[in-house]
Amino acid sequence: MALCLKQVFNKDKTFRPRKKFEPGTQRFELYKKAQASLKSGLDLRAVVQLPPGESINDWIAVHVVDFFNRINLIYGTMSEYCTERSCPIMSGGLKYEYRWQDDSKYKKPTKLSAPQYMCMLMDWIEMLINNEDIFPTRIGVPFPKQFQQVCTKILTRLFRVFVHVYIHHFDSIINMGAEAHVNTCYKHFYYFIREFSLIDHRELEPLKEMTERICH
């Protein structure tokens, strides 16, 4: 029997503190608008479209933060099944292996276990979305020129979480009764990145068959 989502995605299990939008800001109003559209039952393809008169960078920023929160929560819920022993390599089946690289500790692509990769990834994203120079929250402060490029890198790496979860841990998601929720989150993510061409199509290959089944 499927559990209530509040039981499945218990906030105590969140992998990392969630980033919130400050009430009264334009970003918060955009976030509320996006959430209202989601709850209205509208087609997800329509939900992701840029509202008339809104800034595309604000719209992308809101969704990047929201997807970070949602995917972070999904992984945090089933992270007890993703261990150094069960997942010694961050992969998506036998064909795809993801190595970690950043500008500090790992300057070259480095093989990590899935739990290590996820931890590095969530730390890295949290650092970026809390950086006012990249995700400005003050009125009148412009986004940097490389903003969408940074978001592409964030979303590409978040997609790899879906790849790992679907290929290696989907039985756990089913057992928790969360399949429909995870599928909806994935579809929302997929339609968004396709709407704004934010991820190279080659990165989407590992889930191509599943995507064709549930997103078309």
169 appears as a binding residue in the annotation: yes
The closest of 85, 68, 98, 70 to 163, measured between CA atoms, is: 98
Residue 152 contacts by C-beta under 8 Å, 6 or more apart in sequence?
198, 199
164 appears as a binding residue in the annotation: yes
Radius of gyration of the chain (CA): 17
Which pairs with CB-CB distance under 8 Å and at least 24 residues apart come from 28-33? 30/54, 30/58, 30/59, 30/62, 31/62, 31/66
Using the Cα atoms of residue 157, residue 159, residue 162 and residue 167 in order, give the sign of their dihedral: negative
87 appears as a binding residue in the annotation: yes
168 appears as a binding residue in the annotation: no
Give the annotated binding-site residues for Zn(2+): 82, 87, 164, 169
Give the annotated binding-site residues: 82, 87, 164, 169
